């Protein structure tokens, strides 16, 4: 069995001395640099200084990074003509460090809900991997977008599709993709600083006790099952994670919840709800693909099988996405309706309880 490339994201581009906490969902998309300027440094424009320091980044990329406010010197954002001085403390957020693999455009249907010269918003279908990686080198959302841009004659200053964030293969819902370096840097800062508006819908096993609540606990690798993440309440391992939830509808043995994340850890919703005894419905990796709640009757077991048949993946959907547009500086807000498989599951649960 191959591992979804969204599930466990690589750390190869993170600065070992980085004191900034990068959310796991964005690992591999951003690189954070902390630089102390040498005492013998001659005055030099910061774009030239960073180009010399990071030669695999273009001058244009560095210029757009400055323009987006992602280059900070001694606590203040600077423009590309700032001249560095000895002792300056420089912090840089660079988008998408270079990858070796080439993106091959592929004609794959995708649901584009918004598009302009700077960005595109996609409502991703479940089952589609976002970016090529181990075990999934093609037929991804990025391959589909590359074809879409090529077909429309898009002129972009990106050497590949500008991913700002990612979601798991079997999670459905909204994603924003940048079309140029400035848009990518501007959007990246909002995700990096957790200023976007995102809500997830999830179906979880059992009747969640409280109508609203917060789950807090460090998330790290499971001590025995390396394919899972685990919640460490004592903070002994992993990284700090906070999930807020609200119950939207109860189905006696299953609950529909809305989730808002303060952090973006790998499998955060999946691990947190398993920790409180409410594993995501039909989440095979977390043993949610068996009847965890209900009665021990053949009719009920057959019903659960029927629901699994119409919803053959973990029940998680990226429902909303809001952010500030890089050019207009106006807020854009999108809502994705519940996908058909989750809608069908809701109908079956309602019918079952009524009858």
Active-site residue, selected from the candidate residues 7, 123, 168, 170: 168
| ∠ Cα 24 277 309 (to 5°) | 85
Select from 353, 143, 109, 133 the least CA-distant residue to 249.
353
- Rounded to an integer, what distance in angstroms lies between the CA atom of residue 238 and that of residue 220? 4
Please count the residues of the chain: 355
Q: Say which residue the tokens 């809608």 belong to.
A: 343
**Measuring CA to CA, which residue among 313, 322, 296, 306 is closest to residue 195?**
322
276 three-class SS? coil
Cα 140 from Cα 127, distance rounded (Å): 10
User: Could you tell me the two tokens for 54?
Assistant: 């990071």
Structure token digits, residue 266: 């790998």
298/40 Cα distance (integer angstroms): 78
15 in active site: no
Tell me which residues are annotated as active site. 168
């Amino acid at each position: 069995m191959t591992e979804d490339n969204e599930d466990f994201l690589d750390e190869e581009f993170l600065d070992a001395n980085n004191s900034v906490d990068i959310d796991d969902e964005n690992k591999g998309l951003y690189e954070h640099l902390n630089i102390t300027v040498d005492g013998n440094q001659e005055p030099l424009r910061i774009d030239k200084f960073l180009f010399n320091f990071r030669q695999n980044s273009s001058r244009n990329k560095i210029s757009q990074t400055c323009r987006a406010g992602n280059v900070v010197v001694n606590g203040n954002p600077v423009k590309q003509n700032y001249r560095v001085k000895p002792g300056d403390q420089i912090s840089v957020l660079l988008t998408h460090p270079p990858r070796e693999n080439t993106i091959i455009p592929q004609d794959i249907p995708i649901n584009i809900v918004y598009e302009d010269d700077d960005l595109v918003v996609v409502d991703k279908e479940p089952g589609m991997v976002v970016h090529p990686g181990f075990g999934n080198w093609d037929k991804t959302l990025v391959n589909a977008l590359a074809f879409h841009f090529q077909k429309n004659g898009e002129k972009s200053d990106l050497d590949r599709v500008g991913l700002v964030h990612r979601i798991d293969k079997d999670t459905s819902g909204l994603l924003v993709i940048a079309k140029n370096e400035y848009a990518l840097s501007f959007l990246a800062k909002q995700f990096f600083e957790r200023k976007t508006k995102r809500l997830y819908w999830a179906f979880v096993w059992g009747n969640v006790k409280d109508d609203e609540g917060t789950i807090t606990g460090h998330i790290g690798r499971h001590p025995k099952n390396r394919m899972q993440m685990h919640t460490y309440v004592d903070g002994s391992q992993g990284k700090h994670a906070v999930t807020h939830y609200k119950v939207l509808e109860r189905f006696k043995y299953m609950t529909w919840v809305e989730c808002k994340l303060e952090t973006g850890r790998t499998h955060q919703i999946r691990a947190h709800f398993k920790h409180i005894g409410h594993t995501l419905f039909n989440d095979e990796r977390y043993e949610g693909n068996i009847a965890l709640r209900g009665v021990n009757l053949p009719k009920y077991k057959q019903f659960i099988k029927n629901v699994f048949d119409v919803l053959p993946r973990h029940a998680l959907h990226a429902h909303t996405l809001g952010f500030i547009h890089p050019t207009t500086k106006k807020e854009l807000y999108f809502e994705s309706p519940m996908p058909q498989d989750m809608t069908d599951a809701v109908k079956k649960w309602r019918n079952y309880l009524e009858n």
